[in-house]
Every structure is written in C-alpha cells, then in structure tokens.
Amino acid sequence: MKMQTSINAPCDGHVAELAVKFADNVDIKDLLLKMKA
C-alpha cells in the first residue's frame, strides 16, 4: 500500500481525510497518529 499521497498532502486536514480512507489496518492509523503527535 502506497502512502505517499497522504504523507505529501499539503494540509493536515487532507492527510487525516486520506488516512481515514486508506487506514484499513491499525498499523497505518498508529503511524499517522505518531506523525501528527
């Protein structure tokens, strides 16, 4: 699974929106939560 789209998104809101769409497993959600922390 490629996460470049969400990681490179210019705004955090857009990243979060994409994260909700693509985070099919807890590992990805955890990764994004760590990035936002």
Residue boundaries of the structural domains of the chain: 4-36
Question: Which of helix, strand or coil describes residue 5?
Answer: helix
Q: Is the pLDDT of residue 34 over 80?
A: yes
Q: How far apart are CA 7 and CA 23, in angstroms?
A: 13
Q: Is the pLDDT of residue 9 over 60?
A: no
Give the global pTM.
0.28
pLDDT of amino acid 32: 74
Give mean pLDDT, residues 31-36: 79
Helices (H), ranges, the chain: 4-7, 12-22, 26-36
Q: How far apart are CA 9 and CA 26, in angstroms?
A: 21
10-22 tens-digit pLDDT: 556 667 777 677 6
Q: How far apart are CA 17 and CA 33, in angstroms?
A: 13
pLDDT of amino acid 28: 72
